[in-house]
Amino acid sequence: MTAQIGNIVKFVDARESTAAASNNNADQIATPANYADEAALDARLTAISVTTYTVTRLQHMTRNDKVFAVRSSDDAASILGA
């Protein structure tokens, strides 16, 4: 399954490639609202860890970095190899 969320580049849910073989019907934890815009990504990352995702660190992260960090935290099963 490929997801399109707002203006974010599409990403593939790794579970789709293994779902038929493993009959894995796990629900996603992440919601599209987490990826809506930069402010939503920043808010979600701050909620994940205010000490890890400081204002300075968030300013130096690209949008792709932020999307990957949110996916890693909220929905690691959607990432191949996680």
Q: Mean of the pLDDT values across residues 9-29?
A: 53
Per-residue pLDDT band at 78 (split at 50, 70, 90): confident
Q: Comparing 68 with 2, which gets the higher pLDDT? A: 68
pTM: 0.64
User: pLDDT by residue (tens digit) across 27-75?
Assistant: 455 677 778 899 999 999 999 999 999 999 999 999 999 999 998 898 8
Residue ranges of the domains in the chain?
Answer: 2-78
* Average pLDDT value for residue range 5-33: 55
* Rounded-to-integer distance, Cα 24 and Cα 29, Å: 15
3-state secondary structure the chain: CEECCCCCCCEECCHHHHHHHHCCCCCCCCCHHHHCCHHHHHHHHHHHCCCCCCHHHHHHCCHHHHHHHHHHHHCHHHCCCC
